Amino acid sequence: MKTKVNSVVTNPIENTNESKWMKPLALLGKVLLFLAGIVLSLKAIKEPDLWWQLATGDWILANNSIPISDVFSFTYLGTKWINIKWGFEVLISLCTKAFGFEFIYAIQALVTVALLYFILKLINLKNKPFLDKTWANSLIIICSFVFLAASSNRIIGRPEMFSHLFTIILIYLLTRFQNKKNLIYLLPILQLIWTNMHEAFGTGIVIIGIFVFAAWVEYLINKNKKKPLFISLALVLSIVVVSINPYGFEMLSRPLEIFSQLSTNKYTTELSNYTTHEYWQTSTYFTLLFLVITFLEMLTIAFEKSNENRLKHLVNQFGLANILLVIAFTILAISAYRNLIFLNIVLLPFVVHSLFKFIVFIGTKTKFKIQDMTITLLAVVVGIVFYISIVSNQYYKINKISHTFGLQFSALQNPAGAAQFLKANNLDSKIIFTDYLVSSYLLYQLCPNFKTFVDLRDLDVFPDTFFQKNAEVYANYENYKLLDEKYNFKAAVVLNTQFKRLQIGLYNDSNYTLSYFDPLVSVFVKQKKLNNIPLKISAINNFKPSVFSSIVNYVFNPFYKPMDVNETNFNTESALFYLSVGNYIQANSLVVNSPNDAAVNYIKGQYFFNMAIADTSNKKFYNDSAVNCLNLAIKQNTQYFEAYFSLGSIELNQGNFVSAAKQFEKCCEIDHNNLNAHLYAGECYKGLVENNKAMKYLSKLVYHLEVSNEMNPNNPNIEWNLGVAYFKQGKCNLSTPILMKVKDFEGLSAEDKNTADYCLNNCGGK
């Protein structure tokens, strides 16, 4: 179907400030855009998914076959496994063998360049009347920088990169060739490759289907046009080639199964939908802005003076295919946070077109004349600032993103030390418990001996019920002990920054000995504790970057400095670990002679806080000492989350709910995705509502409980509190189903069960 959005009035704004170096400046802006896309793609390896994908690629090459059942876990070994990403896995396996692990992000850089290239091609296709103006081309570059900023959270080296690329290529080809013969071979070939690269391949069928539907509608309305046979045949062939894969015709229904998983898989925030708090991040508001601008463009077209019906006029001018694309990808975007980038890709050409029309309108109604030099220089400045902020890591710090620029593998971000320990102690072939975040690297590094308990293949292998049981293990150590009885684990590997309750349980279990730990991970071996001598942090090695990585990093930032494990204060890291498992005396002893920095003052503050609890005769002295140390830590580092949290805990312990809530709110501001911060903030507001009858805090209590419930679904204690809070708000429609679900939970006290019954009775349910 012919795209109509480019049929606009000729631009009346005169070109000014032309000079012989205007075009070179405009070209520089475009070069900076592509450079920014490249450096935004060059990151240190930390995506845990990549390791099991690399392991799968290696397995495929070693066995000359594609697995159709699980070969990597001991819990579901032999279970049916549909691994759509096998093509990507083979690609990265081949590339890493030749150039090193870091080359995965070089592939991402190439894909990002191609993505930007086709986005610019599509924008140019839709905006031909404007493109003879330098300011128009520079504005396209500025909008594309905004697109990069809005989408940077998904430029992470994962196989979804190919779904992003194929989405824009298909839209571009369908827009350009419409119903020409070229589509018959171009679209099926792309669809075939896509089907064997990433599970979002069904998006391609939807895109082609939208254009086919729109073409037939236009044909039926305008009988003078030719039947859209070529594009229809391209759709049929694209559907047929989906079955050309290791799993055959089963792949035809796979997109529906994958889409249904979005509502089932609640174990990763990237699958959060628009109803959750995690969904509404900075990048989400960029996409919302794009959507609003596009919607306003549609309204403007619909209410233009015309002899046609408004809807018909909108369809004729904007294009039915374009309207359906916006609707379809909006639905996709609201279903999961990770899908926002697809909507950004679809909307960007319309956003640019809307801005062009707005500028033309202002120029027509007033004497305003946009200056080519101004907009061109702005594009260059934006490009330079964007580029420098990325390679200097300021972009990631400002946006609180945990990635860093530069191709590098670091043991501070991957459990390399734990893998070496397991292998050196002949534990790599044993039955070992691993949390789902560390298991993938161990799987890759210790293949073929090592088998996982659970890993990041998620619902493709492991059922939802298994994930629920796994979540209970992290929340309650008794559940781990039940698993241990079943599997007889020989060791447990746990990420230090997560799963604190499990870590504390293992540390205090007489059957386990802490045998290895570094700043990232801990290993507990099943053996009787022989002594209580504290284990100092284990030595981990720097990994030398490949020649390829070193050259690339230097080219894009001559001042690049790789992460160095030797810069880590091992005593401080050891002390922080002992804090996390409750050994405060040992933690304090490790930092007595350490430099006076924020981490050291935080550790001392925690020590004094816990001494105040243990030694009530000197409670005031210890509390005052704790507050002083923690405030000093915050003064030295205003973003020190843990120090605010400890101050809040001290205030909460003393019953000062308002001041405690302020500290926990600060924690939520710094790290919105921290479950404990929301839980403790909720405790403060619960105390104010129940003890002080301050009902004005009820809405804040509900907010933090809702966030906590999203982060830790199916937790009966959180759900009980949320159900009661909804009841107090008079929202029986929300309270009743939650309380009905948890009222018989064994962990609830008799008083809590009575409260649940009271709420249900007063809501008309039982």
Report the pLDDT value the prediction gives residue 312, as an integer from 0 to 100. Answer: 86
Same domain, 453 and 355: no
Band (18; pLDDT cuts 50, 70, 90) = low
DSSP code at position 512: E
Report the pLDDT value the prediction gives residue 309, as an integer from 0 to 100. Answer: 83
Residue 651 lies in a domain: yes
Residue 307 lies in a domain: yes
Same domain, 316 and 457: no
Split into its structural domains, the chain has a count of: 3
What angle do the packed helices 202-221 and 254-264 form, to 10 degrees?
110
The region of weakest confidence among 363-372, 391-400, 463-472 is 363-372
Band (402; pLDDT cuts 50, 70, 90) = confident
Same domain, 348 and 262: yes
Higher pLDDT, 133 or 42: 42
Tell me the pLDDT tens digit for each residue of 251-295. 888 877 776 655 555 556 677 888 888 888 888 999 999 999 999
User: Which tokens is 678 given?
Assistant: 């929301």
Tell me the pLDDT tens digit for each residue of 141-159. 999 999 999 999 999 999 9
Band (61; pLDDT cuts 50, 70, 90) = very high
Report the pLDDT value the prediction gives residue 607, as an integer from 0 to 100. Answer: 92
Is the Cβ–Cβ distance between 671 and 677 less than 8 Å?
yes
Tell me the pLDDT tens digit for each residue of 303-347. 887 777 888 888 888 999 999 999 999 999 999 999 999 999 999
332 vs 266: CA distance, rounded Å: 17
Band (80; pLDDT cuts 50, 70, 90) = very high
681 vs 657: CA distance, rounded Å: 9
Residues 6+ apart with CB under 8 A from 639: 670
Is the predicted pLDDT of residue 586 greater than 80, yes or no?
Answer: yes
Is the Cβ–Cβ distance between 329 and 387 less than 8 Å?
no
Report the pLDDT value the prediction gives residue 255, as an integer from 0 to 100. Answer: 79
| Residue at a domain's end among 338, 364, 398 | 398
Average of per-residue pLDDT values in the chain: 89
User: Which tokens is 665 given?
Assistant: 């709110």
Report the pLDDT value the prediction gives residue 81, as an integer from 0 to 100. Answer: 94
In total, the chain counts a number of residues equal to 766
Cα-based distances in Å from 481 to 454, 478, 490, 714:
17, 5, 13, 20
Residue 38 lies in a domain: yes
pTM of the model: 0.87
661 vs 664: CA distance, rounded Å: 5
Higher pLDDT, 149 or 11: 149
Same domain, 86 and 168: yes
User: Which tokens is 184 given?
Assistant: 């018959």
Report the pLDDT value the prediction gives residue 542, as an integer from 0 to 100. Answer: 76
Classify 721 as helix, strand or coil. Answer: helix
727 vs 735: CA distance, rounded Å: 5
Classify 117 as helix, strand or coil. Answer: helix
Residue 448 lies in a domain: yes
Same domain, 392 and 451: no
Report the pLDDT value the prediction gives residue 224, as an integer from 0 to 100. Answer: 67
Residue 7 lies in a domain: no
Cα-based distances in Å from 290 to 118, 150, 286, 299, 432:
19, 10, 6, 14, 48
Is the Cβ–Cβ distance between 252 and 239 less than 8 Å?
yes
Q: What is the Cα Rg of the chain in Å?
A: 29
Q: Name the residue among 356, 341, 285 with its Cα closest to residue 168.
A: 341
Report the pLDDT value the prediction gives residue 320, as an integer from 0 to 100. Answer: 94
Same domain, 518 and 601: no
Same domain, 382 and 439: no
| Residue at a domain's end among 499, 526, 553 | 526
Residues 6+ apart with CB under 8 A from 619: 612
Same domain, 294 and 325: yes
Report the pLDDT value the prediction gives residue 14, as an integer from 0 to 100. Answer: 45
| Residue at a domain's end among 336, 365, 398 | 398
Domain that holds residue 167: 22-398
Report the pLDDT value the prediction gives residue 765, as an integer from 0 to 100. Answer: 62
Same domain, 170 and 240: yes
**Furthest CA-CA distance within the chain:** 95
Tell me the pLDDT tens digit for each residue of 221-234. 877 678 899 999 99
Is the predicted pLDDT of residue 610 greater than 80, yes or no?
Answer: yes
The rounded percent of the chain whose pLDDT value lies above 70 is 94
The predicted model gives 709-738 an average pLDDT of: 90
Same domain, 136 and 284: yes
Residue 374 lies in a domain: yes
Query: For 222, left (φ over 0), alpha (ψ -120 to 50), or beta?
Result: beta
Residue 300 lies in a domain: yes
The predicted model gives 416-431 an average pLDDT of: 94
Question: What is the CATH number for 658?
Answer: 1.25.40.10
Residue 729 lies in a domain: yes
552 vs 550: CA distance, rounded Å: 6
Report the pLDDT value the prediction gives residue 595, as an integer from 0 to 100. Answer: 80
Tell me the pLDDT tens digit for each residue of 159-214. 999 999 999 999 999 999 988 888 999 999 999 999 999 999 999 999 999 999 99
The predicted model gives 31-57 an average pLDDT of: 95
Tell me the pLDDT tens digit for each residue of 517-544. 888 999 999 987 765 556 666 767 778 8
Report the pLDDT value the prediction gives residue 9, as an integer from 0 to 100. Answer: 43
Higher pLDDT, 450 or 369: 450
Tell me the pLDDT tens digit for each residue of 566-578. 777 788 888 888 8
Is the predicted pLDDT of residue 22 greater than 50, yes or no?
Answer: yes
Report the pLDDT value the prediction gives residue 734, as an integer from 0 to 100. Answer: 92
Same domain, 592 and 444: no
The region of weakest confidence among 385-389, 492-496, 750-754, 761-765 is 761-765
Same domain, 464 and 362: no
Tell me the pLDDT tens digit for each residue of 203-217. 999 999 999 999 999
Report the pLDDT value the prediction gives residue 13, as an integer from 0 to 100. Answer: 44
Report the pLDDT value the prediction gives residue 674, as an integer from 0 to 100. Answer: 85
Residue showing tokens 């396996």: 93
